[in-house]
Amino acid sequence: MIKYTLLLFLFGWGITTAQADNIPINASSMHYQQPKIVVSIEPLYEVLASLTHAIAQPEVVYAHFKDIDQPLSAWQKKILLDADIIIRVGRGFEGRLDDFLQQHDQSLQDKVITLSLYIPLLEKEKLESYDRDANFTDRQASSDLRFWMDPRLLIMLTDYIAPTLATMDPIHNEEYLDNEVVLKEQLKKVEKKMLSLFRALSLEQKLILAQFNPYLKNRYLSFSDTQQIKSSTLSSEAYSCLKVQSYAQIPLNLEYTEKTLDTLLQRIKRCSDSSFSDYVH
């Protein structure tokens, strides 16, 4: 009888302790695992890391853009196969990833979210490095997929991704949506900072800016700027200067963004010292 009473006491104490710590004691919560979220490139990692703050740690397939055309390693293949959700840019952008997904059954492909399907895309600019699919007529191939340079498009994607994560992992529904609010505020600050920096460019420098990324041109050049540079073309010297710089990404962290933009603007200023042909004054 004493042993039975002691067991009841210990069982009751355990339940009380769990309740006091707000720890659910049902069987399903005991087996909860963090969602395995995989993104293709670093800018998308920053978005997902913000949305999953204090919930999960996303993994990124390509930490550096220079690796995007390299064969997938055993580790990269493993995180893709183990993923609960895979978030990528778009068809043709991550070619090796496309090939890997096509080699597997529909169950893996069903885990993939292709972000370029959900936002308005701009046409590619006529630069060699981004003109490889110029003969294709479908939307994915003819569009410039570097949409993450436009903070407003990232806000649009956040509106889509956050509820998707909350549905996939309902235990943290409120946390995902709270993180969404914080991320949107950060993106607004990034946009404001970028706007102030790009407004300070000379017309020559804006011409260079207009050549390498349609999203930056669309967001940060005024209508009058666009009209003035519409018939302008870069000289071969300025074009060569421009190609040295990689404009693959602009990070979202505000401090890091300022440093990256400073590097970009310094490059533009150096390239603007090159001669221009058919420049309209």
Q: Residue 250: helix, strand or coil by DSSP?
A: coil
CB atoms within 10 A of CB 270: 16
- Those residues whose C-beta lies under 8 Å from the C-beta of residue 36, and which sit 6 or more positions away, are 56, 59, 79, 82, 83, 84, 85
pLDDT in tens, the chain (281 residues): 544 444 444 444 443 433 333 433 333 445 678 999 999 998 899 899 999 999 999 999 998 888 999 999 999 999 999 999 999 999 889 999 999 999 999 999 999 999 999 999 998 876 444 444 444 457 888 899 989 889 999 999 999 999 999 999 999 999 999 999 999 999 999 899 888 888 888 877 887 777 777 888 899 888 888 888 776 776 777 777 776 666 666 767 777 777 777 777 788 778 777 654 444 33
Q: Give strand ranges (E) for 17-136.
A: 37-41, 59-62, 85-88, 112-114, 122-123
Give the domain 33-190 fold: Rossmann fold (3.40.50)
The one-letter amino acid code at 245 reads Q
Which one-letter DSSP state was computed for residue 52? T
As annotated, the residues of the chain forming the CATH 3.40.50.1980 domain(s) are 33-190
Residue 71 confidence (pLDDT): 95
